[in-house]
Structure 1
Amino acid sequence: MATPDRQATTLALAHALSAAERGLAVIPLSRTKLPALRSPHRDDPTPTPCRGECGRFGHGVYDASTDPHRIRELFAAAPWATGYGIACGLHPHHLIGLDLDRKNGTDSSAALRELALRHLFTIPETVVVLTPSGGRHLWLTGPPDVVVPNSASRLAPGIDIRGAGGYLVGPGSRTDHGVYGTAPGTAHLAPAPCPPPLLRLLLPPPRTHHPSAPASTAQQGQGLVHFVLAAHEGQRNTRLFWAACRAYENGIGPNLADALVDAAVRTGLTEREARSTIASAARMTGHRP
């Protein structure tokens, strides 16, 4: 007979595989809600940045997958896992999570309603996950060419945002504080598109442009191009959009656009896709493409 923890692991794996069938990339989590697999580089004397390029497990959200075989391998490597995390910002949903907390007397739901009234948007019907502490996770989707960053209480007190590089605890996960579950009537829903006024609030404000010396500008442009060239499959649009936003915010977007397109094409994007992403970055930063 399986121990309670083993039963929790088996249930977590079943829920994770079900989420993967919906196109949601997952990783195993421990009872503390942290990735269950530790970094394989933790004992390296001089660790270098690695997002899974080494081929080993233990890179957090960068291990996330929708492949059932790989998911089973991840859970087999972490038999103590009792939950699973859902990676945000990835194709095809480009998931954005609104974490409405209720700690320290904060009424984050009221804060979100106030924001909706002030900025004229409505939260659509979508998946809602109830947390053991009484909070809620709202699942929304974003455009494929927009990168929403993670943030804590930047939008409003008690509202954390899970975006690119972040993850949400999946329903059915068991933690030290209880079990996560979907709110009644929302389990069958697909994540709804994020309302455009809310999406604008989730993005960081444009940086103030400070004219710099030509040499610094050239170095900065070269750095952004190299950033795009280093993209792996699944990161290409995201890296290109981020680099183009930085270029337009710093006044070198028009001059750097062709170089960014060339770099993106070398990573596997088509020229049309690359120019469309750069145009989106220009519009998002308040410039004309």
Structure 2
Amino acid sequence: MSDMSSLEIAHMVKDITGYRVFPSNQQKQPCVKDPYGKATNDLEGITELFRNFPKAMTAIPTGPINGITVVDLDVKGGVNGIEAFSNLIKNVPHTMVVRTPSGGAHVYFRTGSENIPSSVGKLGPGIDVRGAGANAIAFGSISATGEYRWDHSVSGFTWRPAPMPPDLKRLIYEAASAGRSPSKSGYNQSSIRYRLSDPIITGQRNNELASRIGYLLKMYPPQRVHDLAHHMNATLTTDPLSVKEVDRIFYSILKRELQK
């Protein structure tokens, strides 16, 4: 696979999985604006998306957009997510596994239209959940440290993730809800990261979107947060705000953060 171009890898991933994809840089950040809105499984669309990014990796959006959730198991810095996961969940079904360059693994599960919440380290050391609004780097992608490889010894050569085990799903939801605590506005500021992929109901749209934008701006570049804000509005709100209103909220919060 290492002799294939980035575009050829993206086409291969689409052909094998049928998933929507978008280009990602070496820092695992999207190469395009509104990546989740532009992600596609159309060959011509993929060609257009990847045309200007010859060194891009292929990112697979997780969550309902592709009907999957990926459990990302890190093995580095003295942390062994694979071991922690095996101790957490017994009798994991045979499913799709992609080995990462650092020795970790991406374990794919079918979750359909369910908005499985994403989390970082909540299930255990080195265990991240990539659910709604997240993504995983696809097999065949080449990073600065190596290649992401489909582990055929686990699943054979048929790409069909197993349904997520009920016990794992329960643990994910319990970990997400554990970070929530009521306040005057419904949640504490510290709980925002645990509800980033939760639905946003009418009546809370402006305040909730502003809270999430403020939280994300502490971790990511403004352009990425801008894209995420529009993605959350389009996919998580029961009655999406206008593009103009989302931009107004974003730039208001960005101005506030820059003045701190």
TM-score (norm 1): 0.60
Aligned length: 204
Distance 2:111 2:151 in 1: 22
Instruction: Please state whether the residue corresponding to 2:60 is helix, strand or coil.
Output: strand
State the one-letter code of the partner of 1:125: H
Aligned residue among 14, 26, 40 for 1:65: 40
Cα RMSD for the two superposed structures: 3.6
State the one-letter code of the partner of 2:48: E
Distance 2:98 2:185 in 1: 47
Would the aligned equivalents of 1:162 and 1:168 in 2 still touch at CA under 8 Å? yes
Would the aligned equivalents of 2:75 and 2:102 in 1 still touch at CA under 8 Å? yes
Would the aligned equivalents of 2:110 and 2:162 in 1 still touch at CA under 8 Å? yes
State the one-letter code of the partner of 2:203: Q
Query: What does 1:26-65 correspond to in 2, within 5 Å?
Result: 26-35=21-30, 37=31, 57-65=32-40
1:105 is matched with 78
Distance 2:103 2:50 in 1: 28
Once the two structures are superposed, residues 175-218 of structure 1 have per-residue CA deviations (whole angstroms, 9 ceiling, x without a partner) of: 101111111232414011111121122121164445789xxxxx
Aligned residue among 203, 221, 225 for 1:222: 203
Distance 1:165 1:73 in 2: 22
Would the aligned equivalents of 1:6 and 1:79 in 2 still touch at CA under 8 Å? no
2:152 is matched with 184
Distance 2:4 2:183 in 1: 57
Once the two structures are superposed, residues 119-165 of structure 1 have per-residue CA deviations (whole angstroms, 9 ceiling, x without a partner) of: xxx31111000111111110012142x32222211110001111111
Confirm or deny that 1:89 pairs with 2:63. Answer: yes
Identity of aligned residues (%): 29
Aligned residue among 5, 16, 22 for 1:8: 5
Task: Could you tell me which runs of 5 or more consecutive residues in structure 2 were left unpaired when the two chains were aligned.
Answer: 187-200, 209-229, 241-260
Would the aligned equivalents of 2:7 and 2:51 in 1 still touch at CA under 8 Å? no
Once the two structures are superposed, residues 82-125 of structure 1 have per-residue CA deviations (whole angstroms, 9 ceiling, x without a partner) of: x200000134x4211111111012222221122125xxxx3111
Once the two structures are superposed, residues 253-278 of structure 1 have per-residue CA deviations (whole angstroms, 9 ceiling, x without a partner) of: xxxxxxxxxx69xxxxxxxxxxxxxx
Instruction: Please state whether the residue corresponding to 2:47 is helix, strand or coil.
Output: helix
Task: Could you tell me which runs of 5 or more consecutive residues in structure 1 were left unpaired when the two chains were aligned.
Answer: 38-56, 214-219, 241-262, 265-289
Instruction: Please state whether the residue corresponding to 1:149 is helix, strand or coil.
Output: coil
Distance 2:148 2:96 in 1: 13
1:17 is matched with 14
Query: What does 1:184-223 correspond to in 2, within 5 Å?
Result: 184-185=152-153, 186=155, 187-203=157-173, 204-205=176-177, 207-209=180-182, 222-223=203-204
Instruction: Please state whether the residue corresponding to 1:34 is helix, strand or coil.
Output: coil
The change in CA–CA distance for 1:137 and 1:59 in structure 2 (over 3 A counts) is same
Confirm or deny that 1:148 pairs with 2:88. Answer: no
State the one-letter code of the partner of 1:105: G
Query: What does 1:192-271 correspond to in 2, within 5 Å?
Result: 192-203=162-173, 204-205=176-177, 207-209=180-182, 222-223=203-204, 238-240=236-238
